[in-house]
Amino acid sequence: MLSPMQRYDAILFDLLTALIDSWSLWNRVAGGEEPGRKWRAEYLRLTYGCGSYA
């Protein structure tokens, strides 16, 4: 069990489940449509490059 004071450097969650509008999220975080598209393309390359997705 985690302490209520536990801190995290990063949180990873699955954007491939389509539970949120991930295109808009990437664009917003990256600062625009073009950088967002590049970030998402790299994220997908890394994700699918890891092998089976279960």
Check if the beta carbon of residue 40 is closer than 8 Å to that of residue 24: no
Six-digit token pair at 3?
């302490």
Per-residue pLDDT in tens (0 to 9) along the chain, 54 residues:
556 666 767 666 665 666 677 788 888 888 999 998 998 888 888 888 887 755
Burial class (CB in 10 A: 0-12, 13-18, 19+), 22: middle
Distance CA(41)–CA(44), nearest Å, equals 5
- The residue with tokens 């967002």 is 36
Query: What pLDDT, on a 0 to 100 scale, did the predictor assign at position 54?
Result: 59
Whether the pTM exceeds 0.85: the reply is no
Distance CA(16)–CA(31), nearest Å, equals 21
Query: What pLDDT, on a 0 to 100 scale, did the predictor assign at position 16?
Result: 62
